[in-house]
């Protein structure tokens, strides 16, 4: 998806943040959420990706300043085949699989994914994963 029409910023508090995960799958989760932010927000919108450690959790948030998701749709966005009533900027219809897959991947890692409002408007997806270092046995 083209993102030249959106402003994407990444902020991180730590120099590095460690979590036990399949990196390819977690990158796909982030790509899917950012892709949705690009699809469902108008040109010129801001997308902010932040990471930090909170106690024993690695936290990733992806926030946009679009129209947001109505409260009655928030929990359903993770349901398979649910695509809601939001219009996609490029007019293509969503299959409703992306966020369901994201939830499955995050849950398989012992984590959690939630959606909330980005005040004053927009959406925040929060992914929390167990933080931890990988042991290398040589």
Average confidence (pLDDT) over 3-10: 87
What CATH architecture is 21-130?
Answer: 2-Layer Sandwich (3.30)
Q: Rounded to an integer, what distance in angstroms lies between the CA atom of residue 53 and that of residue 97?
A: 29
Cis ω before 120 (30° cut-off from 0)? yes
Residue pair 30/79 in contact (Cβ under 8 Å)? The answer is: no
Residue 132 or residue 11, greater confidence? 11
Phi, psi of 61 (to 5 degrees): -120, 145
Residue pair 42/113 in contact (Cβ under 8 Å)? The answer is: no
CA distances from 35 to 3, 9, 27, 55, 69 (A): 9, 14, 12, 29, 15
DSSP letter for 4, please.
T
pTM for the whole structure: 0.84
Average pLDDT taken over every residue of the chain: 86
Strand duo 112-117 + 57-64: pairing: unpaired
Q: How far apart are the first and last CA of the chain?
A: 42
Residue 19 or residue 88, greater confidence? 19
Nearest by Cα to 86 from 121, 49, 37, 119? 37
Note the pLDDT of residue 16: 83
């Amino acid at each position: 998806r083209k993102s030249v029409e959106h402003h994407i910023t990444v902020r991180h508090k730590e120099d590095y943040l460690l979590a036990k995960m399949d990196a390819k799958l977690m990158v796909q989760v982030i790509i899917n959420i950012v892709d949705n932010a690009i699809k469902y927000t108008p040109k010129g919108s801001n997308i902010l990706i932040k990471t930090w450690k909170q106690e024993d959790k690695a936290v990733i948030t992806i926030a946009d300043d679009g129209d947001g998701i109505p409260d009655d749709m928030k929990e359903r966005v993770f349901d398979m085949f649910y695509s809601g009533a939001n219009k996609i900027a490029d007019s293509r219809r969503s299959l409703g699989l992306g966020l369901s897959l994201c939830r499955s991947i995050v849950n398989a890692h012992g984590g959690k994914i939630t959606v909330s409002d980005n005040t004053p408007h927009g959406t925040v997806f929060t992914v929390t994963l167990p933080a931890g270092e990988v042991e290398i046995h040589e």
